[in-house]
Structures are given as structure tokens and as C-alpha cells.
């Protein structure tokens, strides 16, 4: 009965997110969520939002949230776009900036939603291989002048580029949009936001899901030249007038207002990450240098797939990708210190067996 499906549906190979078990008491280190709750002031604001006014539509412009983001990052409100998580922001951006006539380039090992968006909109792409150390080599993107999307830090490696490297990408590709996907930037990489005034082809995307502990709320944003933001608004307003509900708008604003809490939680995750990495190294793991809230690890003797399964059977969920080049790696999100101690204890038992 596929006669009712459009050709688009026929060609799709949808993205599969990490497992979200709804009931089991797993230690959940598989989808890069923050182990700490949102700020108490965010939760209080959200409780206040649960009221009579839910009968009304949210502000379709999300003016209050755009102003809060603009104020926080010291840009103009017209340089800010907000969406239902950075996934929706990226979905709009692919349609707004990428075409069927020029190949989009991104790393061969990267966020696996990128080729899915390309399939959705029929955008040709070229995967540029990471080097043997699983790092992005920016020179590889300077050979032709065209669109690029790169996560910084990259996922699932966690490795970051510095700002000079990002700038070299922007300079080498002035005729096409370059998206820097900064979902994990708050855990140790340099943001490219400072460059949006200088490069009219730069779009930076971020999210409230990771560093601000609001994955359950769905709020992401983009920053860039006003002309690029206008393109995103046009696509959004041709798709859904109100993708952010009243909770997402109010909660995200409250999150930006509690800077002390944000800094404290961000630094806690970084501290736990660095400690966990050192402990894993001692157990014989190869661990990549991470600027994110996860570690990408591999053991010379114990296959990653087996470790994934054994960890799961002992109540610890991590992410395993059955993909070329990385099928002997595990991506381990950073949990609380107690959760990482439990991980280290279990994994130590597995690799000493």
C-alpha cells in the first residue's frame, strides 16, 4: 500500500535516537543528558506556567526568549532564531541554506542526523574522513568553496576545533553557509558566536538540552547574520507558527537568568569527565580528548560491542554505534560522580576478567 507514500518517504532512512527506557532503573549514560536537574528557579518558573493561560497560543515570535538569548550572548535579537530543540533548528537550516546543486560536506564520523536531513530534502553530500586520530583536518575543507556543517566539539568523538581553525573554514568557503553545531560547546570548546558579526555566512546552533539540563523541554537556537536568520524565520513560518510551547519559552528564559547555577553544573560535569577519563586510561582504555559531556573510548583487548552488552546487562546504558571506523568505540555520557564510580567499578571488573 505504499502507493500513498510520496517519493520523499520512500527514500528516507530515518534517524534512530538512543534508547529512552521509560521504566527501568538504568544508569543512563547513552544520550548525553545532563546528570543534574535544571536550576530550581527554572522549575519554579515552569510550575507557575502551568495555569489558566495555557488556553492561549504562545507568542509565535518568541520575542522574550530571543531577547534573553541576545542579551546573554551580546548580539541583536534579529540575529537569534529559536526552535524546538537544535534538531528542529538544523532541519530548518538544511532547507534554508543547502541546495541540490552543491554538495554539503561534513565529517564521516559526526552527528548521524546530518545525512538524514540530506535525504529528507534531497541534498547531495560528501563525507570528509577524519584523520587516523579521529580529528577534523580543516585543510580538507579548504579545497572547494561550498556549504559545510561541523559539530564543535565533534560528536561522538568529543574533540574540538579552536577558533582559528573555525575561522579558516569560514574564510575558505565565503560563498556558502557554514554551520557550526555547538550542542556541546559549553563543556569546554570555544564558541564561534564572536564571529557572527564578521562572517555573513556563519550560522552557530546551540541547545538548552545538554549544558542547561532541559532535554525534556525542547529548546534550541541559532545565531547568525540577520539575513540568514530571516531565512530560518521564513521556513519556520511556512511550517509551524508555534513550535515552542509556553513552557519551553518560559523555562529557557529562566535558565539564562541563573548564571551561577549554569556555571556550577557545567564545571561539575567537566571535573567528573576529566577524573573519569584518567581512571579509564589507567584501566587500559584509549580515550579521546573530550571538550564535551561524554567520552569516546576503546579498549585494545575487549570489543566495544561486548562491553556495551555487558554494561547493559548490569544496568548501565552507554551508546554503541555499529558503524565503520568506530565500531570498537563506546560513547559514554558523563553522569554524577556516583554514577561514574559505578561505571568504573563495573567496567574494571569486565576488563580485568
Q: Is 74 in the site for its own copies (CB under 8 A)?
A: no
Q: What is the DSSP string of 126-158?
A: EEEPP-TTS---GGGGSSS---EEEESS-TTT-
For its own copies, the binding residue among 27, 29, 46, 343 (CB under 8 A) is: 46
The rounded distance, in Å, linking the Cα atoms of 54 and 315 is 39
Query: Which range of residues in 156-164, 187-195, 245-253, 315-323 is near its own copies by CB under 8 A?
Result: 245-253
| Residue 33 touches its own copies, criterion: CB under 8 A | yes
x/- site string to its own copies, residues 165 to 184, per CB under 8 A? ----------xxx-------
Nearest to its own copies of 120, 307 (CB atom): 120
Decide: is 54 part of the binding site for its own copies (CB under 8 A).
yes
24 binds its own copies (CB under 8 A): no
What's the count of helices (H) and strands (E) in the chain, helices before strands?
Answer: 11, 12
Give phi and psi for 181, each to the nearest 5: -90, 100
Which residues does 117 contact at the CB level (< 8 Å), separation at least 6?
90, 91, 94, 123
In this structure, the number of other CB atoms found within 10 A of the CB of residue 211 comes to 23
Binding residue (CB under 8 A) for its own copies from 145, 237, 271, 306: 237
Whole-angstrom Cα distance, residue 251 to residue 155? 26
Q: Does 25 bind its own copies (CB under 8 A)?
A: no
CA distance 221 to 239: 17
The residue from 24, 47, 164, 301 that contacts its own copies (CB under 8 A) is 47
Cβ neighbours of 183 (radius 10 Å): 25
Residues 279-318 that bind its own copies (CB under 8 A): none
Reported as type and span, the H/E element at residue 249 is helix 246-257
**207 within 8 A of 86, measured Cβ to Cβ:** yes
For residue 239, state whether it binds its own copies (rule: CB under 8 A): yes
Does residue 337 bind its own copies (CB under 8 A)? Answer: no
Q: Which of 64, 142, 144, 263 binds its own copies (CB under 8 A)?
A: 64
> Distances in Å between the alpha carbon of 158 and those of 84, 98, 295, 324?
24, 26, 7, 18
- Does position 326 interact with its own copies (CB under 8 A)? The reply is no
Helix axis angle for 246-257 and 259-282, nearest 10°, is 80
Cβ-contact 219, 88 below 8 angstroms:
no
CB of 319 to its own copies, least distance (A): 13
Three-class secondary structure of residue 286 per DSSP:
strand
Single residue of 73, 81, 98, 320 touching its own copies by CB under 8 A: 98
Shortest spacing between CB 109 and its own copies, in angstroms: 20
Instruction: Give the count of residues interacting with its own copies (CB under 8 A).
Output: 89
Burial of 322 (C-beta count, 10 Å sphere; 0-12/13-18/19+): exposed
**At closest approach, how far in Å is the CB of 352 from its own copies?**
32
Question: Which region among 89-97, 186-194, 299-307, 340-348 touches its own copies (by CB under 8 A)?
Answer: 89-97
User: Considering the complex, what minimum distance in angstroms separates the CB of residue 258 from its own copies?
Assistant: 14
Residue 188: strand, helix, or coil: coil
Q: Is 145 in the site for its own copies (CB under 8 A)?
A: no
The mark string for 189-208 relative to its own copies (x by CB under 8 A, - otherwise) is -----------xx-------
Residue from 152, 157, 209, 272 touching its own copies (CB under 8 A): that is 209
Q: How far is the CB of 229 from its own copies (least distance, A)?
A: 11
Amino acid at each position: 500500500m505504499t502507493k500513498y507514500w510520496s517519493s520523499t518517504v520512500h527514500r528516507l532512512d530515518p534517524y534512530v535516537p538512543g534508547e529512552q527506557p521509560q521504566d527501568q532503573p538504568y544508569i543512563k549514560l547513552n544520550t548525553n543528558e545532563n546528570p543534574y536537574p535544571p536550576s530550581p528557579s527554572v522549575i519554579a518558573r515552569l510550575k507557575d506556567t502551568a495555569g489558566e493561560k495555557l488556553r492561549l497560543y504562545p507568542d509565535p515570535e518568541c520575542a522574550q526568549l530571543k531577547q534573553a538569548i541576545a542579551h546573554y550572548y551580546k548580539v541583536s535579537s534579529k540575529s537569534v532564531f529559536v526552535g524546538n530543540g537544535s534538531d528542529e533548528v538544523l532541519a530548518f537550516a538544511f532547507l534554508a541554506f543547502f541546495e541540490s546543486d552543491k554538495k554539503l560536506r561534513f565529517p564521516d564520523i559526526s552527528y548521524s542526523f546530518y545525512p538524514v536531513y540530506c535525504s529528507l530534502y534531497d541534498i547531495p553530500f560528501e563525507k570528509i574522513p577524519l584523520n587516523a586520530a579521529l580529528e577534523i583536518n580543516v585543510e580538507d575543507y579548504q579545497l572547494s568553496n561550498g556549504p559545510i556543517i561541523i559539530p564543535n566539539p565533534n560528536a561522538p568523538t568529543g574533540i574540538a576545533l579552536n577558533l582559528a581553525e573555525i575561522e579558516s573554514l569560514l574564510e575558505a568557503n565565503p560563498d556558502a553557509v557554514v554551520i557550526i553545531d555547538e550542542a556541546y560547546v559549553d563543556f569546554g570548546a570555544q564558541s564561534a558566536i564572536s564571529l557572527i558579526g564578521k562572517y555573513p555566512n556563519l550560522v552557530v546552533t546551540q541547545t538548552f538540552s545538554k549544558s542547561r539540563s532541559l532535554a525534556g523541554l525542547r529548546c534550541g537556537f541559532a545565531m547568525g547574520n540577520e539575513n540568514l536568520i530571516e531565512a530560518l524565520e521564513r521556513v519556520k513560518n511556512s511550517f509551524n507558527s508555534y513550535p515552542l510551547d509556553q513552557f519551553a519559552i518560559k523555562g529557557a528564559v529562566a535558565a539564562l537568568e541563573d548564571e551561577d547555577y549554569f556555571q556550577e553544573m557545567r564545571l561539575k560535569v567537566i571535573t567528573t569527565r576529566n577524573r573519569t577519563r584518567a581512571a579509564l586510561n589507567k584501566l587500559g582504555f584509549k580515550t579521546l580528548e573530550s571538550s564535551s559531556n561524554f567520552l569516546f573510548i576503546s579498549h585494545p583487548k575487549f570489543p566495544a560491542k561486548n562491553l556495551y552488552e555487558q554494561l547493559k546487562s548490569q544496568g548501565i546504558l552507554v551508546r554503541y554505534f555499529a558503524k565503520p571506523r568506530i565500531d570498537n568505540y563506546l560513547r559514554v555520557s558523563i553522569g554524577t560522580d556516583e554514577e561514574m564510580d559505578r561505571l568504573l567499578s563495573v567496567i574494571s571488573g569486565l576488563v580485568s576478567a
